[in-house]
Chains A and B, each alone.
Chain A
């Protein structure tokens, strides 16, 4: 590398993730973990509890944790959409990506080449790189929308006809899928879809933290993005 020969573009640190975004990220991460674990045990319960029914409430507690965490995700999600409009420009990257921008799609392709080891160096972005935006938008954003809608539809079956959960969700979601069992199956499948997202998300965050030209993990804690070299930042951050 012909180090520092090009023009020096000093950009020591940029404030990217505001407090609400960071708070939402970690609360959401925790709630999704609780949802996946309790959700799995609702589908495949633990071995039977000994003793009298009156002394035990295991399934009740597991389901309570699931529903409570579900509310946390749903309310947090609504707040996050609000913040996409009220926060800084980075706050809307994963919710309103520029899907009609040719430049942006070129950026996506560049990142794909970077992950396929076809290009030596990734580009430098202040916010998320275009591929990250695309994956978070398609997999995470719509995945969570799906889970919230089907989740409330299933929850509404318990709260019953007349409850707002039933009227707003169960009443149309269940006939749409055919029957309740189908909604359960899809809710279960998309859980795995989100688990796969989490695996990839954590991996690329760690990998980018090591191999890319900007900070990743520490940015989601401090909010500041720092850069490892002083060369140009890619066009804009989309």
Chain B
């Protein structure tokens, strides 16, 4: 099984010209200089491809759905064929015991030299019984498959942070991958789902350079997660000008004003939506008139309404936010001060009387 990517592509009827186009586009997407297009091409022509096991835990398959819609058709074909040759229980041809046997085969054959991509996460409650793959808890498959892997890719917010199944009160104790597997390098590609081009670019980078792209402290590739949606948002001038959508379908909404007051999480969300956009660069949520919900951020389900600027604070069992709470405390203190001043005045008058 020493086929190279290039051979796989040619076998699929992709011309050399298209192949080179893909290489330069990927280099551009990764923020690399033009000379890297040649390097990517060289790597794809010569290096034996690294097998990928694509595991599915508790998830909704939106990451896979996004992945197979990568804008550049080549990326989709290449990566998809590569993945389906190994293991991805959603899209591979094999099923049942035959499918599960592939995992064992890869682990044995490529010990220490394969990548595990995880979509979704393992629930740990009840010994992992909330997610069963091939008759065994998913967490066992995850531990088994990652034991000898080279690196792990955490696809999406589920694998990276927990996402909806880990939202309060998290009855299944769904746990992000990095909290279960602690001894392997992990690259997080958060988002619900992540952008297709980001996913294919990350895979291409790892296969070409045989190492991870540069990561930030939270383990996300810097080239796609180093800026907030807000920093490159095309509605940013309206934010700076102080022009906001005040309610849905008002004059401001029709004029495309900033969605900050409608709870847009662009200012606190690190992702590349405002530059790469979605569906072959067609649009992204803010362009469609809806605020960003912050789907690539940790615990985004638990930060209160997607339509409120201030985060809900539920610790005291009441619906609250920073202003309601702080303002309330300030009012109570103000009242206490007034009462204290009144008592002080009375005391002082009484003391004066005594003198």
Contacts and interface: CB of A to CB of B under 8 A. Distances in A.
B183 interface: no
Interface of B: 216-218, 222, 226-228, 231, 237-244, 246, 252, 257, 260-261, 265, 267-270, 294, 297-300, 303, 309-311, 313, 321-323, 325-327, 329-330, 333-334, 337, 340-341, 343-344, 347-348, 351, 355
A47 to B, nearest CB: 7
B218 A175 contact: yes
A15 interface: no
B265 A48 contact: no
15 contacts: A44-B323, A45-B260, A46-B242, A49-B243, A60-B240, A161-B222, A161-B226, A175-B218, A181-B265, A184-B311, A185-B311, A191-B326, A192-B322, A199-B333, A200-B333
A115 B340 contact: yes
Given A56-B242, A200-B333, 15 more contacts: A45-B260, A54-B241, A56-B243, A58-B242, A60-B240, A171-B216, A179-B297, A181-B297, A181-B303, A191-B322, A192-B327, A193-B326, A195-B330, A203-B337, A203-B340
- If over half of B's interface residues share one DSSP class (helix, strand or loop), that class is named, otherwise mixed; here it is helix
A182 B246 CA distance: 24
B323 A59 contact: no
A158 interface: yes
Contacts of A199: 330, 333-334, 337
A189 B242 CA distance: 24
A48 B256 CA distance: 13
A48 B255 CA distance: 12
B226 A160 contact: yes
A52 B155 CA distance: 41
The residue among A54, A120, A179, A203 with the most chain B CB atoms within 10 A of its own CB is: A179
A40 B355 CA distance: 48
B310 A185 contact: yes
B297 A189 contact: no
A235 interface: no
Contact of A188 (B237, B322, B333): B322
A62 B260 CA distance: 15
A200 B231 CA distance: 39
Contact of A192 (B257, B269, B294, B326): B326
Contacts of A54: 237, 241
Contacts of B237: 53-54
Contacts of A40: 323
Which one of A40, A49, A115 has the highest number of Cβ atoms from chain B below 10 Å of its Cβ?
Answer: A49
